[in-house]
A and B are shown apart, each in its own frame.
Chain A
């Protein structure tokens, strides 16, 4: 067990190193942070050269990389080029909002997926199954901007026009001390995300449910005279829900950085928007910082799920 953990950690460390190199190179070649001042005559060539020097952009790439890595190892992700504030500060300002969105969405997604998935597995090939399947395929095939913009237009813009109670566009002034408003603001982005997310998850639950329901030990349980309900919830569900953990883990990068489109459309002050704003300006320290945090989260979560598996499912042995 411990040697397994140690080996996995060593691998994870190696993976993280590769990630930092990859990200570093990608960001450096993605654009010049000074270019945004190019057409700005208020900045003379000397001003630009001084700025380049100050930001350390004229040093050789390996030097820049190791400098960054050295500081990052000590928890210092540097200062944003443009906000001139520590990257860690910028990220931790946004992290709670992203986490809130992520947990609430994940919670409703899993509930919806389990309900839909179980219904369509139990009632396989019924009309209900077909309806659920059709809708989940539509949801699964829908770009998030389509569902997000659609919801925004209907519930925030049109509803107001029709004189109905309408939801905020996400841009309403909100007070952190007013949790009701906060939740209110969350309705649309969460709905848009849940709609798209739960579609894929429910297919997954359906498949693994079908697999479990067809397996020998469920047959045995049934043969022993257990009720359908007991079989369903005590045995089948537990085994079918397990693989969901893996998928949720794989979705972390999507949430921490990839909710760019959702957060942008609903002006949600989360990490995705932070990322998009600063990536456009080639603010390397912020972009790298966000990527590093995402990678650490993903890598840690992967190890955790693997370990979790061994506790929950006795069939899996750590080798």
Chain B
């Protein structure tokens, strides 16, 4: 009796919502899943609707600005940030990271752990439990089968996803029932949390089997480009290329109906156009300002609201160490590197000879900080480390100690491996304005301690060019380098492994520091030998300490995610692993 009332009630609610929406779907169509679920044991559940909720007259709407148009929204087929941001609004994964960088369930009922039996003793099996009563926006149930299908679609040789990283380590995905997913790995995969989970730095949303099942060549599929059925707080309903896209609330979203009645995204040329549009109120937010825009945005307050979130990405400068002797054939670099950099005193002097705090205070208006290590602002950061502050006198003393004395031209030189060498080197990076400004400051700081720092700014396509094209990073044709790296959302470690040093035989190597330190390399390897997060954290802490003590990289400044918005647009807490999009259902406007 009670059960029937429930079904009746839910049908009533459903019918009214459908009518309110657009009346396109007949109630008969939606009856099926509702009764079906009701008949199988478990608590009765029905989808709240089968269509996105239509935009009512005078409804609440916001418009965002993107300066690049997403290529395809389903993340396995795109590596574009703008695409992943739309995915966050429209498709969800099993879990996500919140604004505090905590790993929290989304479609899943709980996070697998050794305690709850989700992670097997050998670490090779991960079991996820889904929440009850999950539905796609079209009213079809969302089950463990969709998770399995997602894996199959990524691995299907008939499809061409942008990346299979991680998914190719899975031996099988089993679905004992609609709510249980058992993932068996072929080998230990410590960053398993990045698979089937969705965040701004990794795309792992679950895709619908009932729409894509049985198809191949998904990379050209219209649904992959524009998924009109989703599982996120909003559903993509309209996309005029070069112009705008529209999203309407998903009645069946696991986190409840969104507060806003519509979200639109307008494609603008660049951040300048976005800034102008924010000022006139044509758009409500723009998520892709650079740190260089902070001052300009601050000047626009209160008409434009500025939000800066210290990111887990950071700008780092790094020494090309080149060929290392006595490492038993491990990590043979093709290039010699810049000889003086092999002396730790020189690396130390350059690190503390740069006034990094001044760069953060001026160019970033003090919004972020000098990172303590290569994984700042995350749960993985070694919080015991401290930033060594700027000390030009000490830097000069260290260089004297290393045997580099001031010449008549104000540049130090000294003996390095029997060759008289000037402390004058090239610094290579890309053309981003903030890099140019920071490099100018560094140049003037280092000139004060007798070091000549010559900057070369290359377009990213050349700077990151592949080995055969003579890309400076891959071939090691640079002295000091600089770019932004970080955390994705697992510590990214293969740039410290000896075996990843690129050379003619191994042009794809990712150790662009050309730095083979066997101790560090082995330490990093050991962090990849367990899936236990706590155990890994201890090793990762050690790695950060070792890198800092050896001055292998100079953490320059933590990057900031810079948002501009109109004061009417209210959005929730934001963190580097969550972005502003992780709880879009809470977005609202104040009039």
Whether chain A touches chain B in the assembled complex (some CB pair under 8 Å): yes
Known: A31-B459, A47-B163; 10 extra A-B contacts, CB below 8 A, are: A31-B462, A31-B465, A37-B162, A38-B464, A38-B465, A85-B225, A97-B242, A264-B270, A265-B272, A273-B242
With contact pairs A42-B163, A43-B79, A83-B71 given, residues A265 and B461 touching in the complex (Cβ less than 8 Å): no
Question: In the complex, which of the residues A30, A82, A268 contacts B71, with contact meaning CB atoms closer than 8 Å?
Answer: A82
Question: In the complex, which of the residues A54, A93, A97 contacts B160, with contact meaning CB atoms closer than 8 Å?
Answer: A54
CB–CB B277/A171 < 8 A: yes
Is A170's CB within 8 Å of the partner chain B? Answer: yes
CA distance A48 to B464 in the complex (A): 13
With contact pairs A42-B202, A267-B269 given, residues A35 and B462 touching in the complex (Cβ less than 8 Å): yes
Chain B residues, Cβ within 8 Å of A47: 162-165
Chain A residues, Cβ within 8 Å of B423: none
Shortest CB-to-CB span from A188 to chain B, Å, is 11
CB–CB B225/A172 < 8 A: no
Minimal Cβ-Cβ distance residue in B for A52:
B466
Minimal Cβ-Cβ distance residue in A for B75:
A42
By a beta-carbon cutoff of 8 Å, the part of chain A in contact with chain B is: 30-51, 54, 79, 82-85, 90, 93-94, 97, 152, 156-157, 160-161, 166, 168-174, 176, 263-269, 273-274, 277, 282
Chain B residues, Cβ within 8 Å of A93: 241-242
CB–CB A45/B510 < 8 A: yes
Chain B residues, Cβ within 8 Å of A156: 276, 280
Question: In the complex, which of the residues B203, B273, B462, B492 contacts A41, with contact meaning CB atoms closer than 8 Å?
Answer: B492
Is B266's CB within 8 Å of the partner chain A? Answer: yes
Is B508's CB within 8 Å of the partner chain A? Answer: yes
Chain B residues, Cβ within 8 Å of A49: 508
Question: In the complex, which of the residues B69, B77, B163, B269 contacts A43, with contact meaning CB atoms closer than 8 Å?
Answer: B163
Looking at the complex, which of B95-103, B482-490, B564-572 is the stretch in contact with chain A? Answer: B482-490
CA distance A108 to B277 in the complex (A): 27
Is B92's CB within 8 Å of the partner chain A? Answer: no
Minimal Cβ-Cβ distance residue in B for A276:
B269
Question: In the complex, which of the residues A35, A169, A172, A264 contacts B464, with contact meaning CB atoms closer than 8 Å?
Answer: A35
Minimal Cβ-Cβ distance residue in B for A50:
B160
Minimal Cβ-Cβ distance residue in A for B243:
A269
Is B282's CB within 8 Å of the partner chain A? Answer: yes
Chain B residues, Cβ within 8 Å of A30: 461
User: What are 12 A-B pairs with beta-carbon distances under 8 A?
Assistant: A39-B483, A44-B163, A84-B225, A157-B280, A161-B279, A171-B273, A173-B63, A264-B273, A267-B267, A269-B243, A277-B68, A277-B69
Chain A residues, Cβ within 8 Å of B244: 173
CA distance A309 to B11 in the complex (A): 75
Minimal Cβ-Cβ distance residue in A for B160:
A54
With contact pairs A32-B469, A166-B280, A265-B269 given, residues A39 and B484 touching in the complex (Cβ less than 8 Å): yes
CA distance A174 to B268 in the complex (A): 13
CB–CB A90/B164 < 8 A: no
Interface residues of B in 275-315 (CB under 8 A from A): 276-277, 279-280, 282-283
Shortest CB-to-CB span from B569 to chain A, Å, is 15
CA distance A41 to B225 in the complex (A): 23
Minimal Cβ-Cβ distance residue in A for B241:
A93
Shortest CB-to-CB span from B207 to chain A, Å, is 16
CA distance A44 to B162 in the complex (A): 10
Is B72's CB within 8 Å of the partner chain A? Answer: yes
CB–CB A171/B68 < 8 A: no
Most buried by B among A35, A264, A273, A277: A35
Most buried by A among B72, B79, B220, B225: B79
Shortest CB-to-CB span from A137 to chain B, Å, is 28
Is B274's CB within 8 Å of the partner chain A? Answer: yes
Is B540's CB within 8 Å of the partner chain A? Answer: no
Minimal Cβ-Cβ distance residue in B for A273:
B269
Question: In the complex, which of the residues A43, A83, A171 contacts B282, with contact meaning CB atoms closer than 8 Å?
Answer: A171
Chain A residues, Cβ within 8 Å of B201: 42
CB–CB A269/B242 < 8 A: yes
CA distance A30 to B264 in the complex (A): 35
Chain A residues, Cβ within 8 Å of B485: 39
Chain A residues, Cβ within 8 Å of B533: none
CB–CB A171/B268 < 8 A: yes
Taking residues whose C-beta sits less than 8 angstroms from the other chain, chain B's interface range is: 35 or more
CA distance A152 to B269 in the complex (A): 14
With contact pairs A45-B510, A93-B242 given, residues A36 and B273 touching in the complex (Cβ less than 8 Å): no
Chain B residues, Cβ within 8 Å of A264: 269-270, 273
CA distance A46 to B169 in the complex (A): 13
CB–CB B266/A35 < 8 A: no
Chain B residues, Cβ within 8 Å of A39: 464, 483-485
CA distance A79 to B217 in the complex (A): 14
CA distance A90 to B201 in the complex (A): 28
Chain B residues, Cβ within 8 Å of A42: 79, 163, 165, 201-203, 488
Is B80's CB within 8 Å of the partner chain A? Answer: yes
Chain B residues, Cβ within 8 Å of A35: 460-466, 471
**Chain B window 227-244, contacts with chain A (Cβ cutoff 8 Å), 1 for yes, 0 for no:** 000000000000011111
Question: In the complex, which of the residues B162, B220, B273, B279 contacts A160, with contact meaning CB atoms closer than 8 Å?
Answer: B279
CB–CB B266/A171 < 8 A: yes
Minimal Cβ-Cβ distance residue in A for B81:
A40
CA distance A156 to B275 in the complex (A): 12
CB–CB A169/B277 < 8 A: yes
Chain A residues, Cβ within 8 Å of B484: 39
Shortest CB-to-CB span from B195 to chain A, Å, is 11
With contact pairs A42-B79, A82-B71 given, residues A174 and B243 touching in the complex (Cβ less than 8 Å): yes
Is B532's CB within 8 Å of the partner chain A? Answer: no
Shortest CB-to-CB span from B579 to chain A, Å, is 15
CB–CB B283/A171 < 8 A: yes
Question: In the complex, which of the residues B69, B71, B282, B466 contacts A168, with contact meaning CB atoms closer than 8 Å?
Answer: B282
Chain A residues, Cβ within 8 Å of B466: 32, 34-35, 38
Chain B residues, Cβ within 8 Å of A44: 163, 165
CB–CB A31/B461 < 8 A: yes
Minimal Cβ-Cβ distance residue in A for B495:
A41
Is B65's CB within 8 Å of the partner chain A? Answer: yes
CB–CB B220/A84 < 8 A: yes
Minimal Cβ-Cβ distance residue in B for A51:
B162
Is B132's CB within 8 Å of the partner chain A? Answer: no
Chain B residues, Cβ within 8 Å of A265: 269, 272-273
With contact pairs A35-B465, A171-B65 given, residues A43 and B273 touching in the complex (Cβ less than 8 Å): no
CB–CB B163/A169 < 8 A: no
Chain B residues, Cβ within 8 Å of A51: 162
- 6 nearest CB pairs, A to B: A31-B461, A38-B464, A269-B242, A45-B508, A171-B277, A264-B269
Shortest CB-to-CB span from A10 to chain B, Å, is 37
CB–CB A263/B269 < 8 A: yes
Chain A residues, Cβ within 8 Å of B264: 173
CB–CB B79/A32 < 8 A: no
Minimal Cβ-Cβ distance residue in A for B246:
A173
CA distance A156 to B277 in the complex (A): 9
CA distance A108 to B389 in the complex (A): 61
Most buried by A among B165, B273, B276: B276
Most buried by B among A32, A39, A264, A269: A39
Is B541's CB within 8 Å of the partner chain A? Answer: no
Interface residues of B in 22-81 (CB under 8 A from A): 63, 65, 68-69, 71-72, 77, 79-80
CB–CB B461/A269 < 8 A: no
Minimal Cβ-Cβ distance residue in A for B483:
A39
Shortest CB-to-CB span from B402 to chain A, Å, is 32
CA distance A267 to B274 in the complex (A): 9
CB–CB A173/B276 < 8 A: no
Chain A residues, Cβ within 8 Å of B79: 37, 40, 42-43
CA distance A176 to B241 in the complex (A): 12
Is B517's CB within 8 Å of the partner chain A? Answer: no
Shortest CB-to-CB span from A300 to chain B, Å, is 25
CB–CB A157/B279 < 8 A: yes
Chain A residues, Cβ within 8 Å of B269: 263-268, 273
